[in-house]
Amino acid sequence: MKNLGKAESRQVTSFPSPYGNAPIPKKQVLKYKRADGVELSANLYLPSGYKKEDGPLPTLMEAYPTEYKTRTAAGQMRGSPNEFPFLSWGSPVPFVTQGYAVLENATIPIVGEGQAEPNDTYVEQLVASAQAAIDEGARLGVVDRNRVAVMGHSYWAFMTANLLAHSNLFKAGIARSGAYNRTLTPFGFQNEERTYWQAPEIYYKMSPFSYADKIKTPILLIHGEADNNTGTFPMQSERLFSAIKGQGGTVRFVLLPLESHGYAARESVLHMYWEMNNWMSKYVKGTPQ
């Protein structure tokens, strides 16, 4: 709290760590711009005890593309350095305990101003945003740009596969419960209101399945066997796995029994983390478990 007319500030609240005596990773909210000037942000987590002289770290990036009609709205700041980490079942933050830097919730605004629709340039804005996040982490000296993995769940998984299809920014990808062929969701998806028949070229270009022959970066696909979300039936992962495998790519497909769109069983979540850690150890760190 700051007293009006005085320069000093004093703390008025003090909350105990919800994690007890466990070491908490260092958190920093980054603010940076991508090449077209749109403002971006991300939460950076570093291992407890990390020092700058330790050098850049292998990195796991999680991001979520969101549609906007103006650059001003797209550039809104998110996150706070004063929040405790929130560890949901699918969070990337636990990977700081394995020696990774984590870029969590890196913003990827997909902007379509005026008569343009955001998804008209989805791929270009997707790649530019990911490039900006990696560049900022490398500028700070904490991200090893040659050892970065990208992960996502659902629409984030769709993003992950597209980033691997259209860029060489990453050493590995992890996509959970995603949709990869947009012709299988022909009446719209996410905030895309046009049907397949109104914008077939958009559906084709935004489908990583269309570019399965370009996905040469190792990708781990995970899906719940009983996924009842209408846009992400397990067939989406099954077909992408077959396509990448058939084109000579490096891919692994894990089907979690009895799980729906979000994973609930302790055994499923622990197995998911085991698969993810093994994948990144092998293809990002280069040290198979």
237/222 Cα distance (integer angstroms)? 8
pTM: 0.90
Question: Domains of the chain, with CATH numbers?
Answer: 26-285 (3.40.50.1820)
271 flagged as catalytic: no
DSSP helix/strand/coil, 235: helix
Up-side HSE of residue 25: CA atoms within 13 Å toward CB? 24
Which of 144, 177, 261, 268 is catalytic? The answer is: 261
Q: Mark whether 177 is an active-site residue.
A: no
Q: 28 - beta bridge partners?
A: 44
Question: Mind listing the pLDDT tens digit of every residue in the chain (289 residues)?
Answer: 455 555 667 777 888 877 777 777 889 999 999 999 999 999 999 998 899 899 999 999 999 898 876 776 665 666 676 677 777 889 999 999 999 999 999 999 999 888 888 999 999 999 999 999 999 999 999 999 999 999 999 999 999 999 999 999 999 999 999 999 999 999 999 989 999 999 999 999 999 999 999 999 999 999 999 999 999 999 999 999 999 999 999 999 999 999 999 999 999 999 999 999 999 999 999 876 5
What are the backbone dihedrals phi and psi of residue 156, each rounded to the nearest 5 degrees, phi first?
A: -70, -35
- Work out whether strand 143-153 and strand 57-68 pair parallel, antiparallel, or are unpaired: parallel
The verdict on whether 153 is a catalytic residue reads no
Catalytic residue among 223, 227, 237, 268: 227
Q: Which of 41, 154, 177, 237 is catalytic?
A: 154
Which amino acid is it at 45? Y
